[in-house]
Chains A and B, each alone.
Chain A
Amino acid sequence: MKQLAQHAMATAESRGARYADIRIIESRNQTAGVKDGNVDSLGDFESAGFGVRVLVGNAWGFASSADVTREEIDRVTALAVEVAQASALVPGQPVELGPPVRSTGTYVTPILIDPFTVSIEEKLSLLLQADATIRRNPGVKVSEGRVTCLRHHKTFANMEGALLEQTIYECGGAISATAVSGTDIQVRAYPDAFRCQGTAGWEYILGARFNDHAERVASESVALLSADVCPSKVTTLILDSSQLALQIHESCGHPTELDRVFGTEAAFAGRSFLTTDKLGALRYGSSIVNLTADSIRPTGLGSFGWDDEGVPASSTPLVKNGDFVGYLMSRETASQLGLQSNGCMRADGWNRIPLIRMTNVSLEPGTWNAEDIIADTDDGIYMETNRSWSIDDMRLNFQFGTQLGYEIRNGKRARLLRNCTYAGITPEFWNSCDAIGNEKSWKVWGTPNCGKGEPMQVMGTGHGAAPARFRNVRVGVYR
């Protein structure tokens, strides 16, 4: 593979590219799903191919193919140059990439158990056991469970001399129970609604202990059918760490993507309110809010050795003591600000170009014991596990729904609530944060389904969070 990669770079240079890179990728994805006691899906997906990205003058081109041969690399590299020449017909500003990237080395996700050595029988047994526990509750209409195991082997080279080999493992899974009554549907999922996924081996799945939570998931889904609807009011809101992870993703991660700020995602993913004049000048959150982007956190779904431009994994602050101080950047966008990339470029496969993607964007732990946050709250609502999410194209106006809620009265959990929703404006919301759980309740969550780009790319991102409290939040938006 290394020889093919280096051959592509030589070909690109000879055809007039001033920069080029290639990624040769072999991916495998094994999934198992059960539903209502049956095996619902059992699949093994393999994909291999390569993509060549070239910069000719100030215009980009990219071409890719599933046939990893020397002849096809010649054809596709020439095609990428032709595509770049077509891009130059509608030209933009000069492109600078900053200092050359000459990384070399290998990286393998640290794992204890290779998920592809675990038998199908064991994977199904784990799911069917939890499924049976859920179905023991007669109020459950649909029981489900899924696991997914991935491995990506990437070879990266660029014209500047970088040559990298990476093997990234991911494992994830979840169980859920759906209860139905009349026109009402209530779902409870564990560990969260998006499959809790991480860069890890099969030990990640075993650690989730699905069956230990199956009975609770079932009973909560049924109990929600007769729970009171979330009241409509402005109140104190406490979010569990999984819902807060998605709040971070949507209202912190996406707006700090510098390509959005520069308008290059305007037609699809949208733009950002965090324009460059606000860097170092905006009070994004309260003084206890510290947000970090890193690609080094163990099990984080945004952890790797190097990004897809060969920039090494790192950790950088986005919000420090409430002040907005940093972006997620590529080489090209960082250069436009006179900065250097913090390694956020990733593609979801060999046939896609790298885009700026969240790595592990996390809210750093605070000082509160999680239970003390509730004990310290006289009147409010606690919400847990995402059910719906929506945010405007500038990442300001958001509305989220959760699977479950509790009223908080005099420092204690009171009645169960269903159809919980809350809404707000991003900086107002984060400036209202007055309590964040400490490291004991802090956890890295994985969001495996972040969509961005055209053609659409689906990426996994990590988010560390602990439960946190927000004041004066509008809840109960759902009619």
Chain B
Amino acid sequence: MNFKEVADIVLGASQADETEIVYRRLDGSLTRFANNHIHQNVTETNHEILVRCVSGSRCGTAISNATHPDSLRNLVRVALDLARQQPENPDFKGLPGPAPLSIVTSFDSAVAGCSPAARASGVGVMCRKAAEAGYTAAGSMTTAAMRLGVANSKGVFAECETTLVDASTVVMSATSSGWAQSSGWTLDSVAWDQLAEEAVGKTRMGENPIDGQPGEYTVILDPYATSDLMGMMAGDGMSAQAYQEERSWLNGRLGKQVLSPIITIVDDGLDPAGIPLPFDFEGQPKQRVTVVEAGVCRGPVYDTYTAGRQPGALSTGHAMEQAASERIGPLPMNLFLKPGTSNVNEMIASTKDGLYITRFWYTRPVHPRDVVVTGMTRDGTYIVRNGEIAGAVKSLRFTQSYMDALAGTMALGETCKTLWAGGTCNVPAIKLERFNFTSSTR
């Protein structure tokens, strides 16, 4: 049964004031390797039908992966029953109507048709090159195809297809490790030769690390670490829900210069450098939103619900799929940090005393309003002295306000890397004047 047929059954069966259906079909596969061999290799076919029924200003949601017509009609009954059993919610102003959508492409049939043997072939390159260097590799390669459809009783009908390919590896020796990752929607987004060269090179450079000393350092971050800065800033902080609940770092800072003037952050769900989609999970057109412009805070992203709570606000096309457990507010899922004019080599050459960091690990917010985060460095933390790499240190723990760190941005790389972590982040390397490390691991 295709989406149109599913939508017709759901909308035809509903007696709710308003009804919405979100349909997802997923064909996903993941090949996982460790100790230079494939140890897990999985594939799945699934579909998910979400029905939201509105009665007055009350919403009920039911989700199922059964597509039989009787199951679909039952899903509508359950959702409407849930809606009718609750008090009115004056903050809910109704489902959105249709709006013109841009035409974007993010579907590659080569990804959708990628076989287990093809994934094994790529992974095999990685394992062989690690073994040739005397190291062990672990990592994964994901290929997935998704069909997404959104329709509602007010005339929204939107459907698209998208693909995802993501590959990552950690290469390890007895004393060192290195990381590489690549993501996109075309199969050629991943070049295992290049990933192997990068991760093996990082591992070699990090052999025999010394204990790191806590303190403030100038840091140069690979795009992997930069993406963590963006992810934590996005988290709740770029969402209108967090802003309305006064939990966002944007609260009290709109129109103010709080980050370096070379920092511009936008969310653009239509940019093909990410993984674009024409619409969000309410079928509303994705819009380019500038969250930070030249260091000045501009505003969060909205869905219909949060826009309805704020006079003058409109959905920016950032609605997320309704979760079974709680209402997820709008989120920026296609972040871009505007590149600069530098590169990692230049950043190192211009640094007298600092650290060059591959990526961050297990980062968690300590204080959301100032984006204070704690976490570890991982898979390559190198000493920079007098413009050169002078060795490696063991992983360090930091507790640092990402806002303060970005206020001290000294340089941005001229090229960006697209990285997948639930959404996409397109980011360059970055040099930050100050970053606070609180301890070293053993």
Task: Check A62–B40 contact: CB distance below 8 A.
Answer: yes
Q: Which of A120, A185, A390 has the most CB of B within 10 A?
A: A390
In the bound assembly, the distance between CA atoms of A90 and B61 in angstroms comes to 44
Q: Which of B33-61 contact A (CB under 8 A)?
A: 33-48, 58-61
In the bound assembly, the distance between CA atoms of A33 and B369 in angstroms comes to 24
Q: Number of contacting residues on B, CB 8 A?
A: 95
Task: Check B41–A87 contact: CB distance below 8 A.
Answer: yes
Of the residues B32, B326, B378, contact of A146 by C-beta under 8 Å:
B326
Task: Check B117–A183 contact: CB distance below 8 A.
Answer: no
In the bound assembly, the distance between CA atoms of A35 and B329 in angstroms comes to 13
Give the distance to chain A from B216, nearest Cβ to Cβ, in Å. 10
Task: Check A42–B170 contact: CB distance below 8 A.
Answer: no
- Is the CB of A337 closer than 8 A to any CB of chain B? no
- Is the CB of B62 closer than 8 A to any CB of chain A? yes
In the bound assembly, the distance between CA atoms of A401 and B365 in angstroms comes to 10
Task: Check B140–A392 contact: CB distance below 8 A.
Answer: no
- Is the CB of A266 closer than 8 A to any CB of chain B? yes
Give the distance to chain A from B171, nearest Cβ to Cβ, in Å. 10
Task: Check B42–A423 contact: CB distance below 8 A.
Answer: no
Which residues of B have CB within 8 Å of A265? 34
Q: Which of B344-376 contact A (CB under 8 A)?
A: 361-370, 372, 374-376
Of the residues B30, B65, B87, contact of A455 by C-beta under 8 Å:
B30
- Is the CB of B203 closer than 8 A to any CB of chain A? no
Question: What per-residue 1/0 map shows which CB atoms of A33-76 lie under 8 Å from chain B?
Answer: 10100111111111111010000000111111111000000001
Give the distance to chain B from A421, nearest Cβ to Cβ, in Å. 7
In the bound assembly, the distance between CA atoms of A391 and B439 in angstroms comes to 12
Which residues of A have CB within 8 Å of B325? 29, 31, 33, 41, 43, 146, 148
Of the residues A141, A352, A478, contact of B367 by C-beta under 8 Å:
A478
Contact A267 to B368, CB < 8 A, known contacts A64-B45, A92-B38, A397-B439: no
Q: Number of contacting residues on A, CB 8 A?
A: 86
Task: Check B399–A46 contact: CB distance below 8 A.
Answer: no
Give the distance to chain B from A68, nearest Cβ to Cβ, in Å. 10
Task: Check B30–A454 contact: CB distance below 8 A.
Answer: yes
In the bound assembly, the distance between CA atoms of A389 and B83 in angstroms comes to 37
Task: Check A394–B38 contact: CB distance below 8 A.
Answer: no
Q: Which of B68-117 contact A (CB under 8 A)?
A: 78-79, 81-83, 85-87, 89-91, 115-117
- Is the CB of B172 closer than 8 A to any CB of chain A? yes
Task: Check B140–A41 contact: CB distance below 8 A.
Answer: no
Task: Check B170–A267 contact: CB distance below 8 A.
Answer: yes
Question: What per-residue 1/0 map shows which CB atoms of A175-189 lie under 8 Å from chain B?
Answer: 000101001110000
- Is the CB of A468 closer than 8 A to any CB of chain B? no
Of the residues B41, B47, B60, B365, contact of A388 by C-beta under 8 Å:
B365
Which residues of B have CB within 8 Å of A146? 325-326
- Please tell me which stretch of A77-85, A151-159, A286-294, A429-437 contacts chain B, meaning at least 4 of its Cβ atoms lie within 8 angstroms of it: A77-85
CB-nearest residue of chain A to B365: A388
Q: Which of B165-191 contact A (CB under 8 A)?
A: 168-170, 172
- Is the CB of A238 closer than 8 A to any CB of chain B? no
Give the distance to chain A from B147, nearest Cβ to Cβ, in Å. 14
Task: Check A119–B85 contact: CB distance below 8 A.
Answer: yes
- 11 CB contacts below 8 A, A to B, read A42-B85, A64-B42, A66-B47, A83-B29, A90-B123, A142-B247, A183-B251, A185-B367, A267-B34, A390-B375, A392-B395
Residues of B in contact with A (beta carbons under 8 Å apart)? 28-48, 58-66, 78-79, 81-83, 85-87, 89-91, 115-117, 119-121, 123-124, 127, 136, 138-140, 142, 168-170, 172, 245-247, 251-252, 322-327, 361-370, 372, 374-376, 378, 395, 397, 399, 401, 436, 438-442
A-B CB proximity, top 5 nearest: A92-B37, A86-B116, A45-B324, A267-B138, A397-B441
Apart from A41-B325, A42-B59: 10 A-B pairs, beta carbons within 8 A:
A59-B38, A64-B46, A66-B45, A92-B39, A124-B86, A124-B87, A263-B34, A392-B376, A392-B378, A392-B441
Residues of A in contact with B (beta carbons under 8 Å apart)? 29, 31, 33, 35, 38-49, 51, 59-67, 76, 79, 82-87, 89-93, 119-121, 124, 128, 141-142, 146, 148, 178, 180, 183-185, 262-268, 270, 273, 351-353, 387-394, 396-397, 399, 401, 419, 421, 423, 425, 454-455, 477-479
